[in-house]
A and B are shown apart, each in its own frame.
Chain A
């Protein structure tokens, strides 16, 4: 408040100078004054009062009507003052919330961390980027004792914090499964029971789960209502869609999931993704799935990590660097036996 008093003197000086000279430079100083006042949390009703007091000092015999009009103005400014102060408090709260969410997002990253398995049979690349701070997409790798690789790609219907909670639960459920039980059908059956038991109605998860047998080069897969995935066949240079029937996780507890398998040949490339990749919208139109696949095809010669990084950069730019949806893309390439 004491600073208000010294500002009051400044204000009075500025005002009387301005009334004499009508100088633009003084208006500029007035602008600085108002910024300073905001920084010091001085509310608009106080500014009006400062003006009124200054005016009375400069013109001691101010007309009674003018005085009355200022009292009237102060009265009408009181609610603006309150709204301003509330705004300040809410702003501080928002900053606090934001930093809490930042901490939570970091925790989520740590919790959901999964490392890409190293195996000579396949080259794996993965890119997962949340649209907002918390990621509603999830991917997970498992390597069993024989060296076979399990891969999950999932998407929670819903975003933000609730979705993140749900994902953490799925991750811990998956970790509790033993390393010998990594067949897709078994995993989805079990996860579905966990999700239906623990998640409120209205929160659903889609998942595609694949198991790559590094000895027979069979790829086993099952899907819980997830996007189809794709295999770029080396022989035909065409993409083949792979999909399996199955309800979303959490809809019904007693569902059996279908499990299919396909042979992977040298140079074949498996693409797993979430709908953030195929449904990313640019200027009101959806990017066609084909566009994604074409880009992958064009960059097939790169290694898997380079491919996913490239695709991500491409889409980030298309969307003006503002992702609308969480983005998760996994690429697995069977190495040719010569390079082993």
Chain B
């Protein structure tokens, strides 16, 4: 069962901050602890920055999940950019251009509980979920 859906358009670098802000607000309301809030914010940054850098334009959508007693936050990053060629290479540790910072898409996967990635020439869609620890 899902409820409130909200979204932030990513176009300028500044929008990354807006997306973080929105995500933090929601995660606070859902009762995530400080570390998880920070993890969610970092994941949002990574996803939003990829949109800003590689697709120029896109959208981050948030869904509150109430799978009682579990409560979670779903984050979808979607764009109509050029897409990612070699998905398994991108998901390999040590691949991202930042090399060795552990960030990038594998980092997002680590920060969150569930992760899915679909990408072709039409664009990229990353779906991830974090569950609040009761």
Query: Do these two chains interact?
Result: yes
In the docked arrangement, what's the CA distance between A52 and B38, Å? 14
Q: Mark B114-129, 1 if CB is under 8 A from A, else 0.
A: 0000000000000000
B35 touching A49, Cβ below 8 Å: yes
In the docked arrangement, what's the CA distance between A83 and B110, Å? 11
B101 touching A46, Cβ below 8 Å: no
Residues of B with C-beta under 8 A to A46: 35
A86-B94, A90-B93, A90-B94 as given contacts; A74 in contact with B103, CB under 8 Å: no
B93 touching A82, Cβ below 8 Å: no
A70-B34, A74-B34 as given contacts; A86 in contact with B102, CB under 8 Å: yes
> Does residue B50 face the partner (Cβ distance < 8 Å to A)?
no
**Which of B41, B42, B100 is the one whose CB lies under 8 Å from A86?**
B100
> Does residue A78 face the partner (Cβ distance < 8 Å to B)?
yes
A49-B34, A49-B35, A90-B93 as given contacts; A83 in contact with B102, CB under 8 Å: yes
Residues of B with C-beta under 8 A to A261: none
A78 touching B34, Cβ below 8 Å: no
**Which of A74, A84, A86, A87 is the one whose CB lies under 8 Å from B35?**
A74
B101 touching A79, Cβ below 8 Å: yes
Residues of B with C-beta under 8 A to A85: 102, 110
B111 touching A82, Cβ below 8 Å: yes
B100 touching A75, Cβ below 8 Å: no
- Chain A residues 78 to 103 lying within 8 A of chain B, measured CB to CB, are 78-79, 82-87, 89-90, 93
> Does residue A45 face the partner (Cβ distance < 8 Å to B)?
yes
Residues of B with C-beta under 8 A to A49: 33-35
Residues of A with C-beta under 8 A to B94: 86, 90
B34 touching A82, Cβ below 8 Å: no
A75-B41, A89-B93, A90-B94 as given contacts; A82 in contact with B101, CB under 8 Å: yes
> Does residue A71 face the partner (Cβ distance < 8 Å to B)?
yes
> Does residue B107 face the partner (Cβ distance < 8 Å to A)?
yes
B93 touching A86, Cβ below 8 Å: yes
Expressed in whole angstroms, the minimum distance between the Cβ of A51 and any Cβ of chain B is: 12
B38 touching A74, Cβ below 8 Å: yes
Expressed in whole angstroms, the minimum distance between the Cβ of B100 and any Cβ of chain A is: 7
**Which of A71, A79, A83 is the one whose CB lies under 8 Å from B34?**
A71
B38 touching A78, Cβ below 8 Å: yes
Residues of B with C-beta under 8 A to A45: 35, 38-39
In the docked arrangement, what's the CA distance between A86 and B101, Å? 8
Residues of A with C-beta under 8 A to B39: 45, 78
> Does residue B106 face the partner (Cβ distance < 8 Å to A)?
yes
Expressed in whole angstroms, the minimum distance between the Cβ of A307 and any Cβ of chain B is: 48
In the docked arrangement, what's the CA distance between A85 and B42, Å? 15
B34 touching A52, Cβ below 8 Å: yes
In the docked arrangement, what's the CA distance between A89 and B107, Å? 12
In the docked arrangement, what's the CA distance between A95 and B35, Å? 31
Q: Which residue of B lies closest to A72 (CB)?
A: B38
In the docked arrangement, what's the CA distance between A71 and B24, Å? 12
B34 touching A87, Cβ below 8 Å: no
In the docked arrangement, what's the CA distance between A82 and B93, Å? 11
Q: Which residue of A lies closest to B101 (CB)?
A: A83
Q: Which residue of B lies closest to A1 (CB)?
A: B133
**Which of A52, A74, A82, A93 is the one whose CB lies under 8 Å from B110?**
A82
With A71-B34, A75-B38, A86-B107 known, 6 other A-B pairs at CB within 8 A are: A78-B42, A82-B101, A82-B111, A83-B101, A86-B101, A86-B102
Task: State the 5 A-B residue pairs at the shortest beta-carbon distance, nearest first.
Answer: A86-B102, A82-B102, A83-B102, A49-B35, A82-B107
A-B contact list, 12 entries, CB within 8 Å = A1-B133, A45-B39, A49-B33, A49-B35, A71-B34, A75-B42, A78-B111, A82-B101, A83-B101, A83-B102, A85-B102, A89-B93
